[in-house]
Amino acid sequence: MLENDQSAFQGTTLGVQNMNTGALKYLILICSVAALGGFLFGFDTAVISGVVGFVKSEYAMSAASEGWFVSVALLGCIIGVAGAGKLSDSYGRKKVLLLSALLFTVSAIGCCLVKPEVELLWFRFIGGLGIGVASMVSPLYITEFAPAKMRGRLVAVYQLAITVGILCAYFSNAWLLGLSEQSARFASEGFLNWIVTAHVWRAMLGIGVLPAVIFMLSLLAIPESPRWLMMKGQKVAARKWVYKVNTAEQAHLEMAAMQDGVHQSTGDKTGLKELMKPIYRTALIIGLVLPALSQLSGINAVIYYGPRILDAAGFTLGGAFGGQVSIGIINMLFTFVAIFTVDKWGRKPLLYVGAGIACLALIIIGFLFYGGVTEGPWILLFILIYIACFAFSFGPVCWIIIGEIFPTHIRGRAMGLATLSLWVANFFVGWLTPILLDHAGPAGTFWIFAVLCSPTIWLTFKLIPETKGHSLEDIEAYWLNKSKVNK
């Protein structure tokens, strides 16, 4: 059993109590720009909930084809993540984020304009590549820039950006749907009529070009990760940015810790083989299993197929879209719980409470569908409870933990592997949910998600250490010390 005693951590805990206002503002600005990758991640994955019904009807898709239309972007995510880790370790975090912004832009334009189904699928795939790259590199960049005492909150801001992106997608879909029903606003012929009235789903997908371009331009104004610079031997450049966002005393401690981390990994050319060593075996298990469980709990079944699920609960199309907006609002608001508590209470308590209540809510939703309780607000209420629990536990804590537990010299590739696990699980959820809804029904579908969610409690108790308040180098030393103790 992995001990979770905080005394197992060695090293200096870095604080931010004396950080000046200018440094704090600059730090928040940098992390907010990186978090725009999360916004696009959330927007691009959630916008499909309003699109899929129209596309299914227009192209006469079967349930399997519908699932493929949703999950082809997830396949792109898997491939994007698989390459992003090595690319970010080789070329830097910032350059790879710029690549993701370009992919988002191309995808939004293509999905809006192309006509053949196969071309639409290809541009969805390209968007998936962008999501996969951003989903790995954005939290990685924030993790490497943030001081230890603020790391949990700042990485949770990335999750907040995802929820804001999801909510904006829901509002955008609902607004465009309403606009399309007011056909008198547009001429009977012309481009706007074609994408807003005749094919509103094209406008829903195409509007994503606006945040994608903003993300691309904003990235030009932020620096490279100081830990990546240090890893590449660019000590002067790394020192500049560490001192820019810390007090002199804190920056000195941070630089010393980073230098020690580089010395420990000097000459290591083994890449991911390092993770297979006994010293990091537990970190690897956590990094592979926790992200997969976060998706197998069914969160994206609700995000992608919310209107269909709510339709089965007795909502009209407009009411289902409204219910989806409610889901987006709760998802965003309860992320603030994590932001304000994760560095105070820790990672593990949030996972215990969130996973436990989420499991219970999924079971109750299944019984409500099984009993035919589709009158009143009950199904939506428990879906919102489930979403709230995910928003303050699985959602942010997963990204925080997988950004913390790996050593600096292979963090990009290791985090890429962890994020790959997340997207593989997400792919199967996106692909199989329509089939499960057709064959197992909503009740069976939610019970399956409850069963798949439950192992998180065991994983949290048995393997995950509490990492709040400790530097990344302290956490790396933790695994080394535990390995020596267990010999």
When the pLDDT of each residue in the chain is averaged and rounded to a whole number, the result is 82
Q: Which residue has the higher pLDDT, 284 or 15?
A: 284
Nearest to 363 by CA among 465, 460, 248, 447: 447
Instruction: Compute the 3-state secondary structure of the chain and give helix, strand, coil in percent, each to the nearest 5.
Output: 80, 0, 20
| pLDDT band at residue 354 under the 50/70/90 scheme | very high
If you write DSSP's letter for every residue of 375-403 in order, what string do you get? SSSHHHHHHHHHHHHHHHTHHHHHHHHHH
How far, in Å, are 108, 302, 347, 432, 441 from residue 436 at the CA level?
Answer: 29, 13, 32, 6, 6
C-beta of residue 415 within 8 angstroms of C-beta of residue 85? yes
Rounded Cα distance between 311 and 50, Å, is 13
Q: Which residue has the higher pLDDT, 320 or 403?
A: 403
| pLDDT band at residue 411 under the 50/70/90 scheme | confident
Q: 275-285 pLDDT, tens per residue? A: 777 788 888 89
Angle at 131 between CA 128 and CA 134, to 5 degrees: 150
- The pLDDT of residue 262 is 62
- The pLDDT of residue 427 is 81
- The pLDDT of residue 267 is 45
Q: 102-147 pLDDT, tens per residue? A: 999 999 999 999 888 889 999 999 999 998 899 889 988 998 888 7
- The pLDDT of residue 74 is 79
C-beta of residue 86 within 8 angstroms of C-beta of residue 413? yes
| pLDDT band at residue 293 under the 50/70/90 scheme | very high
Rounded Cα distance between 225 and 141, Å, is 6
Least confident of 163-172, 216-225, 274-283, 443-452: 274-283
pLDDT at 3 over 60: no
SS3 state at 190: coil
State mean pLDDT over 24-44.
89
Q: Is 187 exposed, middle or buried (0-12, 13-18, 19+ CB in 10 A)?
A: exposed
C-beta of residue 358 within 8 angstroms of C-beta of residue 389? yes
Most confident of 31-35, 248-252, 308-312: 31-35
| pLDDT band at residue 11 under the 50/70/90 scheme | very low
- The pLDDT of residue 207 is 93
Percent of the chain exceeding pLDDT 90 equals 29
How far, in Å, are 72, 77, 101 from residue 126 at the CA level?
Answer: 9, 9, 11
Q: Is the pTM here over 0.85, yes or no? A: no
- The pLDDT of residue 377 is 79
Rounded Cα distance between 52 and 216, Å, is 27
| pLDDT band at residue 272 under the 50/70/90 scheme | low
C-beta of residue 107 within 8 angstroms of C-beta of residue 213? no
Structure tokens that stand for 25 in this block: 């503002």
pLDDT at 304 over 90: no
Q: 229-265 pLDDT, tens per residue? A: 888 888 888 888 888 877 777 777 778 777 766 655 5
Nearest to 234 by CA among 219, 218, 223, 245: 223
Rounded Cα distance between 125 and 130, Å, is 9
Q: Which residue has the higher pLDDT, 8 or 361?
A: 361
pLDDT at 9 over 50: no
C-beta of residue 225 within 8 angstroms of C-beta of residue 92? yes
Residue 2 backbone dihedrals phi, psi, to 5 degrees = -75, 120
C-beta of residue 472 within 8 angstroms of C-beta of residue 147? no
Residue type, 81: V
pLDDT at 319 over 70: no
If you write DSSP's letter for every residue of 316-344 in order, what string do you get? -HHHHHHHHHHHHHHHHHHHHHHHHHTTT
Least confident of 32-36, 170-174, 265-269: 265-269
C-beta of residue 134 within 8 angstroms of C-beta of residue 382? no
Within a 10 A sphere around the Cβ of 152, how many other Cβ atoms?
30
Least confident of 13-17, 340-344, 469-473: 13-17
Residue listed under structure tokens 């993300």: 215
pLDDT at 274 over 80: no
Q: 164-209 pLDDT, tens per residue? A: 998 899 888 888 888 887 765 655 667 777 777 788 889 999 999 9
Residue 11 backbone dihedrals phi, psi, to 5 degrees = 115, -175
Rounded Cα distance between 44 and 50, Å, is 11
Q: 458-470 pLDDT, tens per residue? A: 999 999 989 888 7
- The pLDDT of residue 4 is 46
pLDDT at 396 over 80: yes
C-beta of residue 338 within 8 angstroms of C-beta of residue 156? yes
pLDDT at 7 over 60: no
Q: 329-349 pLDDT, tens per residue? A: 888 899 999 888 888 898 999
| pLDDT band at residue 456 under the 50/70/90 scheme | very high
Which residues lie closer than 8 Å to 1 by C-beta, 6 or more apart? 462
